[in-house]
C-alpha cells in the first residue's frame, strides 16, 4: 500500500491540496478471497469507513482517475453540477440530490462537495465606537490584518527581492481572549482595546467556494457499478425531477464520463448508419441485384441479435466499445453471406436446379464459413476474458463479436440457402440440367 498526501497549489494539477491518494497493489487474481473486483471494493470501503470515519472515499484506477480529471473535470463517472447564488441553499439542495442519487440502483461512492464546517473568527467594525474615538476604519483593519500577517515592504538582496511581513507572535494568537486585548492608538495617544472597536464572534464559515461558468457551483460526484452509465443517468434524472424542486435561478448540469459518453454516442449514431449504408451499397454493386443484397443483409440483424444476447448473458451494459464491436461484426457477418451466395449462383450458372444449388452450396461452404467463424471467435476470446488494464474496453467489443459471429454463421449455413429461391433475380438466365 502506497499513500500520497497533498500536492502543489499549481493551476496544472486538478487535484486539491486536501486530497490524498492511496494506491493498493493487488495480488494475482488467483489469490483473491473475493469473486469479483466489486466485492473487493465493497469490503475495502466498509473497513475504511469504519476505521477512518468522516471521510469520503472513491475507488478507481490511477491513470483513469487522472484522465477523468483532466478531460471531464471530475474524479468519478458522473459529476452533477448544481449552479446558483446562495451558498447555503446550494449546500442544502446538493445534499438532497446526493441523498436521492444514493437510492438509485448502481450508485456507488456518492460524494457531495464539502464547502463548510470550518470555524471562522468574524470581526465587524462598530462605526459608532471608532467615530467616538476618532479612529479611522483603515487603522482597525490594519491591526486585524496583522493577526494573520501583512506585507509591509520588500527586502532586496542583490537582484533578488523578498516580501517583508509583519505578524503577531504566537503568544498573541493562541486564543481569542488575547486577540481582543490588542491595542489601537487613537489621535490623542490613548490605547483602545480591539474589543471596544469591533464585535467579535466565532461561527461556521465556508471551506471553499467553487465557481464555473461565472457562477457558484456545488458538485456531487458518483461512480456507477453494475449497470450502464446512460441508463443510470436517465433514472437519476427522473428521480431528481420527481423529488427535488429547484428554485428560480438554480439549475443542474450533468458531466463527467457521461458527457464523454454522450459525445461518443452522437458520433456512433452517425458511424453505424453510415457503415450499414456502405455495406448495402457494396452488396448492390457486387451482385447488381437489390434482392440478393437484401438476402445477404439479413445477416446484419441476426448478428446484432447474437451480440446483444452475448452482452446480456455476460451481464455487460451497452457501451461505446460494444458499438464499435457491432460495426466490426457487420462486416464479418456479411462476408460469410457473400461467400455462400456467390457459390450458390456459381452452381446455378453451371446448370444445377435452385433447390440442389442451395443445398450443395451450403455443404461446399460449410468448412470455409465455420473456419472463418471459429478463427474470429478464438481470436477474440483472450480479449473477452481479459482482466488486465483496458479490459473494460476490450471485453464488450470481443463479447459482441463472438456472440454475433455464432448466430450469423448459423443463419448463413441454414437459413440463407433455404430462402434463396425467393430472392433469386428473375431476369437472370440459368441453364438447368
Does the pLDDT value for residue 89 go beyond 50? yes
Surface-to-core class of residue 354, CB atoms within 10 Å of its CB (0-12 exposed, 13-18 middle, 19+ buried): middle
> Band of the pLDDT at 11, cuts 50, 70, 90?
low
Quote the percentage of the chain above a pLDDT of 90.
0
Mean pLDDT of the region 74-100: 84
More confidently predicted of 115 and 106: 106
CA distance 78 to 233: 8
Residue 30 banded pLDDT, cuts 50, 70, 90 = confident
- The pLDDT of residue 18: 63
- How is residue 236 annotated by DSSP? H
Q: Kindly report the CATH class assigned to 118-206.
A: alpha beta
Q: What is the pLDDT of residues 397-426, one digit of tens each?
A: 888 889 888 888 888 888 888 887 887 777
Q: Residue 393 in contact with residue 325, Cβ under 8 Å?
A: no
How much is the average pLDDT of 318-325?
82
Q: What value does the mean pLDDT take over residues 181-198?
A: 86
d(CA 385, CA 394): 9
3-class DSSP state for residue 56? coil
- For cell 441479435, the residue is 305
Considering the domain delimited by 288-423, tell me its CATH architecture. Answer: Up-down Bundle (1.20)
Residue 277 has, within 13 A of its CA and on its CB side, a CA count of: 6
Amino acid 173: pLDDT: 76
pLDDT of 59 strictly over 80: no
Write out the three cell numbers for 278.
456502405
pLDDT at 117 over 70: no
- Per-residue pLDDT, 344: 83
d(CA 323, CA 397): 7
For residue 303, pLDDT over 60 is answered with yes
Is the confidence at residue 14, as pLDDT, over 60? Answer: no
Residue 6: what pLDDT? Answer: 66
Q: Which residues pair with 219 in a beta bridge?
A: 81
CA distances from 260 to 75, 101, 230, 308 (A): 14, 20, 11, 23
pLDDT (average), residues 191-200 = 86
In this prediction, what percent of the chain has a pLDDT beyond 70? 89
Average of pLDDT values for 60-64?
Answer: 68
**What is the pLDDT at residue 232?**
83
Q: What are the boundaries of each domain within the chain?
A: 1-71, 118-206, 288-423
Please give the distance of CA 203 from its chain centroid, rounded to a whole number: 37
The average pLDDT across 356-362 equals 82
pTM over 0.85: no
Q: What is the per-residue pLDDT for 230?
A: 75
Q: What is the mean pLDDT of residues 166-170?
A: 82
Which region among 11-25, 90-104, 340-354 has the lowest average model confidence (pLDDT)? 11-25
- 9 vs 369, which has greater pLDDT? 369
Report the pLDDT value the prediction gives residue 433, as an integer from 0 to 100: 44
Lowest mean pLDDT of 49-53, 61-65, 74-78, 227-231, name the range: 61-65
Task: Identify the residue with better confidence: 319 or 83.
Answer: 83
Q: How far apart are CA 319 and CA 265, in angstroms?
A: 9
- pLDDT, greater one: 63 or 61: 61
Mean pLDDT across the chain, nearest whole number? Answer: 80
Q: Is the pLDDT of residue 67 over 70?
A: no
Hey, what's the cell of 221? Answer: 460526484
DSSP helix/strand/coil, 426: coil
What's the rounded Cα separation, in Å, for the pair 319 and 309?
14
Least confident of 51-55, 59-63, 190-194, 358-362: 59-63
Amino acid at each position: 500500500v502506497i499513500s500520497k498526501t497533498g500536492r502543489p497549489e499549481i493551476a496544472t494539477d486538478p487535484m486539491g491540496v486536501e486530497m490524498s491518494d492511496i494506491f493498493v497493489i493487488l495480488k494475482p487474481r488467483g489469490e483473491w478471497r473475493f469473486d469479483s473486483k466489486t466485492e473487493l471494493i465493497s469490503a475495502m470501503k466498509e473497513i475504511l469507513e469504519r476505521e477512518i470515519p468522516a471521510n469520503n472515499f472513491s475507488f478507481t484506477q490511477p491513470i483513469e482517475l487522472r484522465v477523468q480529471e483532466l478531460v471531464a473535470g471530475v474524479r468519478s463517472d458522473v459529476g452533477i453540477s448544481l449552479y446558483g447564488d446562495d451558498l447555503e441553499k446550494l449546500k442544502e439542495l446538493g445534499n438532497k440530490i446526493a441523498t436521492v442519487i444514493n437510492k438509485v440502483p448502481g450508485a456507488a461512492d456518492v460524494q457531495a462537495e464539502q464547502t463548510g464546517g470550518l470555524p471562522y473568527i468574524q470581526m465587524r467594525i462598530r462605526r459608532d465606537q471608532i467615530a467616538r474615538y476618532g479612529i479611522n476604519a483603515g487603522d482597525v483593519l490594519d491591526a486585524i490584518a496583522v493577526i494573520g500577517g501583512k506585507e509591509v515592504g520588500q527586502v532586496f538582496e542583490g537582484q533578488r527581492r523578498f516580501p517583508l511581513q509583519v505578524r503577531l507572535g504566537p503568544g498573541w494568537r493562541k486564543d481569542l481572549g488575547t486577540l481582543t486585548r490588542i491595542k489601537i492608538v487613537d489621535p490623542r495617544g490613548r490605547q483602545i482595546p480591539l474589543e471596544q472597536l469591533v464585535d467579535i464572534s466565532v461561527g461556521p464559515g465556508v471551506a471553499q467556494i467553487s465557481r464555473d461558468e461565472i457562477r457558484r457551483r456545488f458538485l456531487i460526484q458518483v461512480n456507477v457499478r453494475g449497470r450502464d452509465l446512460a441508463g443510470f443517468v436517465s433514472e437519476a434524472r427522473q428521480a431528481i425531477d420527481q423529488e427535488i424542486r429547484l428554485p428560480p435561478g438554480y439549475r443542474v448540469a450533468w458531466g463527467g464520463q457521461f458527457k464523454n459518453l454522450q459525445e461518443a454516442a452522437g458520433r456512433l449514431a452517425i458511424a453505424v448508419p453510415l457503415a450499414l449504408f456502405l455495406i448495402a451499397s457494396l452488396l448492390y454493386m457486387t451482385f447488381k441485384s437489390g434482392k440478393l443484397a437484401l438476402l445477404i443483409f439479413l445477416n446484419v440483424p441476426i448478428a446484432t441479435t447474437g451480440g446483444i444476447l452475448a452482452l446480456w448473458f455476460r451481464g455487460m451494459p451497452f457501451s461505446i466499445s460494444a458499438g464499435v464491436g457491432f460495426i466490426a461484426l457487420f462486416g464479418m457477418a456479411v462476408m460469410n453471406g457473400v461467400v455462400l451466395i456467390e457459390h450458390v449462383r456459381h452452381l446455378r450458372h453451371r446448370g444445377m436446379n435452385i433447390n440442389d444449388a442451395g443445398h450443395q452450396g451450403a455443404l461446399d461452404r460449410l468448412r470455409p464459413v465455420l473456419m472463418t467463424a471459429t478463427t474470429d471467435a478464438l481470436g477474440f476470446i483472450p480479449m473477452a476474458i481479459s482482466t488486465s488494464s483496458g479490459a473494460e474496453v476490450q471485453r464488450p467489443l470481443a463479447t459482441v463479436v463472438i456472440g454475433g459471429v455464432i448466430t450469423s454463421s448459423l443463419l448463413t449455413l441454414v437459413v440463407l440457402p433455404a430462402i434463396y429461391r425467393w430472392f433469386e433475380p428473375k431476369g437472370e438466365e440459368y441453364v438447368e440440367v
